[in-house]
Amino acid sequence: MPELDLRPHIAGLPGSRIREVANAALDRADILAFYFGESDEVTPPEIREAAAESIARGETFYSHNLGLAELREALRGYIGGLHGDPGPDRIAVTSSGVSALMLAMQMLAAAGDEVVVVTPVWPNLPAQPAILGAQVRRVPLAPDAQGAWRLDLPRLLAAVTPATRVLLLNAPNNPTGWTLDRAEQQALLDHCRRTGTWIVADEVYDRLWYGDGPAAPSFLDIASPDDRVVVVGSFSKAFLMTGWRLGWLVLPRGAIDTMAKLLEFNSSCAPVFVQRAGLAAMAIADRFVPPLVARLKAGRDRLCQGLATLPGVTVAVPLGGMYAWFRPPADAPGAGDSLAFAKRLVAKHGLGLAPGSAFGPEGEGWLRWCFASRDPARLDAGVARLRAALYSAGSA
């Protein structure tokens, strides 16, 4: 077959290394899979029933580009309760968080623009500006001796110059669990005000937060409605709605009409019945999210304690998110190549983890483990498999 002349910067996008590992586990029922970024819990019944009722009512037509007015209003109340009222005409409903991020990037970055992104990070974030022909510069976090990943704030501030169009941040961070603190956010906002740089903040893990208060520190807490700040949220994580593909954008004042056009030209609108599910999620948020976060915190603690019992394993307890991010012992055979290591773990030991290199070269040598598991015993069983893999002679 002839070589297709697809656009080289598109054909050259990285494939998912997580999927590469998962593919090595296909058709095997014995795998304990922790590689994907979703809970194994089904969406709550109240949310599912709202969608089913909408479908039964025949809500099968186009809707407003920006989302149902009721849902935008409910989101305004939800976001306002966490961070203060954003005011009118600042929220757009999107067909997933990833779609929201792509829309934000389309609004802000064109070919040749410079986008700075803090890494390691979910690969979709740097891929989106690359699709648009922007120049992506990576500023890495780095682990301390205890395995907690830290931001080198002076280095990041130096990297963001008047030539930087967008600063792209994901905090709480997938995969490391690193979270921006208030002082860092303020320093970044002040700096970006001076350089004229937009901040796109992927805050989809904001509620999966194990520190003080109901949500991780957000740029919404400190930005004015006229700041160049776009915040992306999602129903996926805090409402167990990964498969629904529903998210939102909080935009600065004056951007909503442009975003409505981009929504029209990218996806037109989210299905009404999916938006009704989102409305049901908003209605149960106060009583659903805190117990979910408590379950996740218990899973986090159980997994991190289990990992800490493994000699030579480096792991820090993350403040946010739903992942343990750890480094196998330096002398574990093959541990320096996380993709090959993860493939062997799944093939030989039935343990499905995400390789650190899936999140960029900065993550090489590390592994990501999603602890959002309904049954904590699954986490224990996974740790036992990892122990066998690491310390049984010749088995890893």
Closest to a copy of itself by CB, 95 vs 179, is 95
Instruction: Name residue, tokens 């994580």.
Output: 237
Closest to a copy of itself by CB, 16 vs 305, is 16
Residue 1 interacting with a copy of itself (CB under 8 A) = yes
Residue 224: CB partners within 8 Å, gap ≥ 6? Answer: none
Give Dmax (Cα) for the chain.
63
Instruction: Name residue, tokens 């991190």.
Output: 304
| CB-based contact 324:371 (threshold 8 Å) | yes
**Smallest gap from residue 333 Cβ to a copy of itself (A):** 31
Q: Which stretch of DSSP H or E encloses residue 231?
A: strand 229-234
Residue 163 interacting with a copy of itself (CB under 8 A) = no
Residue 262 interacting with a copy of itself (CB under 8 A) = yes
Among 176, 185, 234, 242, contact with a copy of itself (rule: CB under 8 A): 242
Torsion of CA 344, 345, 348, 350, to 10 degrees: -140
**Smallest gap from residue 159 Cβ to a copy of itself (A):** 20
Binding mask 46-85 for a copy of itself (x = CB under 8 A): --x--xx--xx-xxxxxx----------------------
Q: Which residues, numbered 308-367, are part of the site for a copy of itself (CB under 8 A)?
A: none
Residue 266 interacting with a copy of itself (CB under 8 A) = yes
Residue 42 interacting with a copy of itself (CB under 8 A) = yes
CA angle in degrees (0–180, nearest 5) for 182-184-187: 110
**Smallest gap from residue 175 Cβ to a copy of itself (A):** 16
Among 86, 271, 350, 365, contact with a copy of itself (rule: CB under 8 A): 271
Q: Is the peptide bond before 175 cis (omega within 30 degrees of 0)?
A: yes
Residue 112 interacting with a copy of itself (CB under 8 A) = yes
Q: Which stretch of DSSP H or E encloses residue 42?
A: none
